[in-house]
Amino acid sequence: MLKYLVFSLATVSVLAGCSGKPTHTVAQDQYCYTDSTTKISNGDTVDSTTLVQCSDNPLTRAKLVGVDPKNCRPWERRDYVNGYEKRYGGYICRDEKGNWRPLNQF
């Protein structure tokens, strides 16, 4: 009898742990900016340099693509699908025309 009671308690504990709603975080993708220069003289490569800068900080990315970080704001949207929360988000920045665009479109 004690064996069944322990088994029942263990089963309830496991099922209770599985019933919580999962939480999702908004992932920020790493961004790399590449700039390369090549000097060619008489058909031969004289000098070649490549600058690669990577960051997962969105405001650093804004600087790398020529956007003033002061013109950027975080945004987030939450949707509920089948009882689960789904989060979307990132940064939006004003372009030269004053329109808001997602940072990854610059």
**How does residue 4 score in pLDDT terms, banded at 50, 70 and 90?**
low
Q: Which of 52-56, 72-76, 90-94, 96-100 has the lowest mean pLDDT?
A: 52-56
* Rounded CA separation 61/72 (Å): 11
pLDDT tens-digit series, residues 27-81: 455 567 777 788 887 777 678 888 887 777 888 888 888 899 999 999 999 999 9
Round to whole Å and give the CA distance between 21 and 17: 10
Question: What DSSP string runs through 65-84?
Answer: TT--GGGEEEEEEEEEETTE
- Cα–Cα distance for residue pair 101/105, rounded to 1 Å: 7
Query: Does pLDDT of 1 surpass 60?
Result: no
Record the tokens describing residue 84, joined without a space.
Answer: 């689960």
Q: What local confidence, expressed as pLDDT, does residue 49 receive? A: 86
- Residues 5 and 12: beta-carbon distance below 8 Å: no
Query: Which pTM was predicted?
Result: 0.48
* Among 86, 93, 88, 90, CA closest to 77: 88
pLDDT at 51: 81
Beta-bridged to residue 79, according to DSSP, are 86
